[in-house]
Structure 1
Amino acid sequence: MKIAINAGYSEMPYGGVGRYTIDLIKNLAAIDKNNSYYIFSRIHSCHLSGLPENFFYYTVPAADLRSFHKNFSQSKQYKEINPDILHMLHFAVPKHRGSAGLVITIHDLIYPVLSSLSMLLSRRSPVSCISLEGLLSSFSGRNLARKADALITVSKTSSRDIRQYLGVDARVIYSGLNEDFISPKTPGQISETCSRFGLEAKKYFIYFGGHGRRKNVMNIFQAWNNLPAAVKNYYKFCIAGEGYYEKKIKKLLAGRLRTQAGNFIFTGNIAYADLSVLAAGAYASIYGSFYEGFGFPAAESCAVGVPCICSDIPSLREIMPASGLFVHPAKISEFTEAIIELCGNKNLYNKISSDSSSACSGFSWKKSAELYIEVYKNCRQ
């Protein structure tokens, strides 16, 4: 088969969809030597270099990702290939797909879910996330979803959301976990990496993930500032990644909260090899998102055996049912109390750490890739 894959988000390797795109393609390349794959993106991603000879990489210039998603399949290269399967690795449908069977992966339904009345009344959606696009997206999404020959999603939670808001069924193929988070870490490796970032193993909490509104970074920051001085003076707070709220926190620490600046470490965007070691070296991680389809950072914390204080939302309950300390995402006091409890209750800490090590062992990119190959075959029958 000739399989075309929209890999547009590979240019954003630090976001969830970008990471998903890169890891899935790498694992397809590792196990499938029979089919031919044609990878399309707006710019060439260094993270997808060294693919085998049955993988072909094409770049199609576009002003932005949205226009790329709509128009890449009208390129000369795509038309000449005339693929049997077109796989869109996020929720979009191009203007033209030829005779190809269409596979769409939907990671989540951020806009309709966060704009829903039930989420707002339960305070599980920030008011700033309400948008006209969100209120209307379930209507436009129904038409897009029905154009797919196979609809895939990454969790049972997302599958239920798709059924509720789009009125269609989606098969669940769980995301895998990046190899860097699965591989064991030595004490020396953790010590060396922590030292490079000005940290000491097990003497810091870590947040890693996106910095958009729904990620709830400011509530986590405020919860940390509300901690007793003894806790803040002993532990540092490491914030990985970049974005609007990272910059906002830095501005606060340079201004009226400058006396607390020494308690924070900002890494910026760093390679998974370093991020996975920093996650393993942390005392615990904090992940307060209002909504997720899967939740890579929470699952990755589990993979390295580190307790995660996380939002009590359906997807995180699904992927790590017994290995998290769950709190209401809108209640800052619950985050603060959870941090204090983990610091003071060693029995609870050890139990969550032990449970975490095995909680995410079933998330395998190899297994996900095998299931996608099965989907491709079924689309041509």
Structure 2
Amino acid sequence: MDLTWSESEEAFRAEAREWLAAHVPAEPLPSGDTREGFARHLEWERELYAAGWAVVSWPKEYGGRDASLWEWLIFEEEYYRAGAPQRVTQNGIFLLAPTLFEFGTTEQRDTLLPRMAAAQDLWCQGWSEPGAGSDLAGIRSRAERDDEAGGWRLTGQKTWTTRGAFCTHLFGLFRTDPAAQRHRGLTYFLVPLDTPGVTVRGFERLDGDEGFAEVFFDDAFVPDSAVLGAVNQGWQVAMATTGSERGLTLRSPGRFLRAADRLVELAAAHPEAATDPLVDQVTAVWMQAQAYQLFTLAQVTDLVEGRSPGARSSLNKLYWSELDIRLHEAALELLGPQGQTDNPWSRGFLFSLAGPIYAGTNEIQRNIVAERVLGLPRK
């Protein structure tokens, strides 16, 4: 692996750094999980799009720059280095879009991707249900064929839908063949949330943020064009989306490189708390962030050379989710009693605790690694 950047890549970095330095908001935006904060973040997303920075690795006809995956990694590093706002369009551009590029029809890509890049259509994820969280194959929401109308009628409920209260569209799995085995008979649908028969009910989290939602489907009709991939083959399509969620696109190394640097800065600002064991802990976390970057570079090499990560994306998810917790634990140790107050580090710590749960629990990820990466027996 060549760890040096080319002249053109360094020029790309310089351009991105210059633009971000001139345009990143001087003050942090309100939380993107509040109605006010989400609206402010959308303004930022649209500024990114207007300047061609929203989806740098996408083709130009969809709003991108035709940048390479290497250049996308560079942009992510610079984005986090500049302290730029959280991407509230992430479910669309980081999760659904790669799946559309792989499974979507030309019409679906031409219709959906430009509006997604421009933050005109805002996507939430419809996986979890009241009886199916980590066990995604246990979903009960169903889609029944309506031949006369030329489409499907959706019935059921999705929950824990991140930012669903503010979004315009949902992607998710519905059971189209109830007689099939658990992982079969599922179909992947793309649903406008203003469809008659769809009800979105937002609810607050314990921290007061209001972006979560439950989504109810009561005989909601969608046309055949709302199906992504083949009917009854939704599990395969969904695994492509979860691969993006667990792997490279949702949690790029730039996020953790910057957080680790901030942790080092925090240790320097609190010398009275920086005992030898805690300095060792901070050093270890910084090294682990560097290791995650090297692992990602190897993964991008595989992708560029045509090798899909497949089940190995579960290794990413295990690593970044547990790194995030260790990083924030070290920060709270440095802060001492101040770490128990409401501040960016304490909020980050609370969010990090969800990391081993969302995108598939780490217990499930360890099973996937054991069976599908290491080839160990199931029993």
- For the aligned pair, the TM-score class normalised by the smaller chain equals under 0.3
Structure having greater relative contact order (Cα 8 Å, sep ≥ 6)? 1
**TM-score, normalised with respect to structure 1:** 0.26
**TM-score, normalised with respect to structure 2:** 0.26
